[in-house]
Amino acid sequence: MNNKIKNTKTEVPETLEMNDKDYITTMLTIEKGMVKDYAVAEAGVIG
């Protein structure tokens, strides 16, 4: 068995414009903060 795992590097242009990865990372970060803030606000109402 000579199975080699290949994980090729994907070239991403390094420009000032946002690419798809930047948009997804930003959206997930914003959503994560919103969920955390909502949980804190809800805990304040209940507690």
Which pLDDT score is estimated for 28? 97
pLDDT, tens digit, 9 for 90 and up, residues 1-47: 678 878 888 787 788 898 888 999 999 999 999 998 888 777 777 65
Q: Residues 6 or more apart from 21 whose CB is under 8 A from it?
A: 12
Q: 0.85 cut: is pTM over it?
A: no
Which pLDDT score is estimated for 43? 76
How many residues comprise the chain?
Answer: 47
Nearest residue to 19 via CA among 8, 9, 11: 11
Asked if residues 13 and 19 have their Cβ atoms less than 8 Å apart, the reply is yes
Which pLDDT score is estimated for 6? 83
Tokens of 4: 């080699």
Which pLDDT score is estimated for 30? 96
Alpha helices by DSSP H, listed for 1-47, are: 20-46
